[in-house]
């Protein structure tokens, strides 16, 4: 039996909706349903009355719900105590950050912080977007730093999480220049001669941003996908070798643009082939609000008190820009 099954079950008990809980738990609905079924197999009885709508718990499910809240609360308290032992006297701030931001945005951001806020001790956990968000949801980091775009919002309940904007990031197409400094390949390409395209793997967050760029473009783009990966740094490495066009965040390419190792793959008249994303920091609200409203919390107690340095950093970030 896995603790995430209990967390899923608590979410379902509070939302009364498989689809809503799957969304809040950042998994597909079929995967969420399988996890509830696995919990029922472990319990040896039905926990959910699937003949009713909204979803209703069986008597056994009601019993497990009450016990789950106690078990998960005890586990969370125990984990907090253990983390307290390892962090005693250090006050290390733990960041969960998607890979691209970990390589591009985070190092420069920390440098700027040290100049204005002061020195901080940090631990970076680089993950894919889904796992980075789950680190925050599970209480396994102090701050999540991630991209945000209105077309792909994270399902984080404002009653439980707060955020502050750290800035903006523009993503656009880039390519290696030829010997004369002109783009080796220039958009939009032609149907008979598609341009080599270095794309993100299916499901990658930045890949979804590229799809939105192409969908909103007023010009038909002709690509031949010759390579894909889920990391922007991997695409940049291929673009630097001249393998094709890649859509990349500006923070990932600014040094290469200055050195003329990469240039824009879009002509001046195609300025719509880019997108602006916000870079945000998120954390759990250190309050006593009932977490059951979110459908993802594991107990009804207040969130753990933030570390001293983490709280000081958050206060500083709040003073720098808009937050919610």
The pLDDT assigned to 238 comes to 97
Which pair of tokens denotes residue 160?
Answer: 């439980």
Among 290, 312, 293, smallest CA distance to 301 is for 290
The model's pLDDT over 239-267, given as tens digits with 9 standing for 90+, comes to: 999 999 999 999 999 999 999 999 999 99
3-state secondary structure 90-116: CCCEEEEEEHHHHHCHHHHHHHHHHHH
| Helices and strands per DSSP (H, E), number in the chain | 11, 11
What is this structure's pTM? 0.68
125 vs 236: CA distance, rounded Å: 22
The pLDDT assigned to 79 comes to 67
193 vs 186: CA distance, rounded Å: 12
The model's pLDDT over 151-188, given as tens digits with 9 standing for 90+, comes to: 888 878 888 899 999 999 999 999 999 999 999 999 99
36 vs 13: CA distance, rounded Å: 11
Whether omega for the bond prior to residue 54 falls within 30 degrees of 0, making it cis, is yes
DSSP state of 144: E
The pLDDT assigned to 82 comes to 66
The model's pLDDT over 76-98, given as tens digits with 9 standing for 90+, comes to: 767 666 665 554 445 889 999 99
The model's pLDDT over 206-226, given as tens digits with 9 standing for 90+, comes to: 999 999 999 998 889 999 999
Q: Determine which of 66-80, 96-110, 309-323 has the lowest per-residue pLDDT on average.
A: 66-80
The pLDDT assigned to 212 comes to 94
| Rounded mean pLDDT, 102-113 | 91
The model's pLDDT over 264-319, given as tens digits with 9 standing for 90+, comes to: 999 988 888 999 999 999 999 875 443 433 334 433 334 555 677 888 999 999 98
The pLDDT assigned to 184 comes to 96
**Per-residue pLDDT at 51 exceeds 90:** no
Phi/psi at 225 (nearest 5 deg)? -70, 115
More confident residue, 56 or 238: 238
Mean pLDDT for the chain overall: 85
Residue 288: helix, strand or coil by DSSP?
A: coil
The model's pLDDT over 116-152, given as tens digits with 9 standing for 90+, comes to: 888 888 899 998 888 888 888 878 889 999 999 998 8
Residues in the chain: 324
The model's pLDDT over 1-49, given as tens digits with 9 standing for 90+, comes to: 778 888 888 888 888 888 888 888 877 888 888 899 999 999 889 999 8
Strands 245-249, 195-200: pairing kind: parallel
More confident residue, 256 or 203: 256
Identify the burial level of 46 via C-beta atoms within 10 angstroms of its C-beta, where 0-12 means exposed, 13-18 middle and 19 or more buried: middle
| Rounded mean pLDDT, 188-201 | 94
């Amino acid at each position: 039996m896995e603790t995430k099954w209990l967390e899923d079950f608590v979410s379902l008990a509070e939302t009364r909706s498989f689809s809503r809980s799957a969304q809040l738990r950042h998994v597909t609905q079929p995967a969420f349903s399988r996890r509830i079924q696995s919990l029922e197999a472990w319990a040896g009885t039905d926990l959910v009355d699937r003949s009713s709508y909204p979803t209703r718990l069986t008597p056994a499910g009601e019993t497990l719900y009450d016990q789950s809240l106690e078990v998960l609360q005890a586990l969370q308290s125990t984990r907090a105590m253990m983390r307290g032992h390892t962090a005693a006297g250090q006050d290390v701030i733990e960041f969960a950050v998607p890979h691209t931001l970990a390589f591009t945005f985070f190092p420069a951001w920390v440098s700027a912080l040290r100049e204005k806020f002061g020195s901080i001790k940090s631990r970076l956990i680089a993950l894919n977007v889904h796992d980075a968000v789950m680190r925050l949801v599970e209480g396994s980091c102090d701050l999540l730093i991630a991209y945000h775009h209105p077309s792909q919002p994270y399902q984080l309940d404002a009653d439980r999480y707060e955020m502050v904007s750290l800035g903006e990031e523009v993503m656009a197409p880039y390519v290696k220049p030829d010997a004369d400094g002109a783009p080796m390949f220039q958009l939009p390409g032609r149907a008979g001669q598609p341009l080599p395209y270095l794309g993100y793997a299916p499901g990658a967050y930045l890949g979804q941003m590229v799809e939105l760029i192409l969908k909103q473009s007023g010009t038909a783009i002709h690509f031949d996908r010759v390579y894909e990966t889920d990391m922007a740094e991997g695409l940049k490495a291929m673009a630097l070798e001249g393998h094709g066009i890649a859509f990349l965040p500006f923070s990932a390419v600014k040094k290469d643009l200055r050195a003329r190792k990469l240039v824009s793959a879009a002509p001046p008249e195609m300025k719509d082939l880019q997108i602006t994303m916000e870079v945000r920091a998120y954390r759990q609200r250190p309050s006593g609000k009932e977490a059951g409203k979110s459908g993802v919390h594991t107990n009804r107690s207040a969130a753990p008190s933030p570390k001293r340095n983490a709280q000081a950093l958050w206060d500083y970030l709040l003073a720098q820009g808009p937050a919610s």
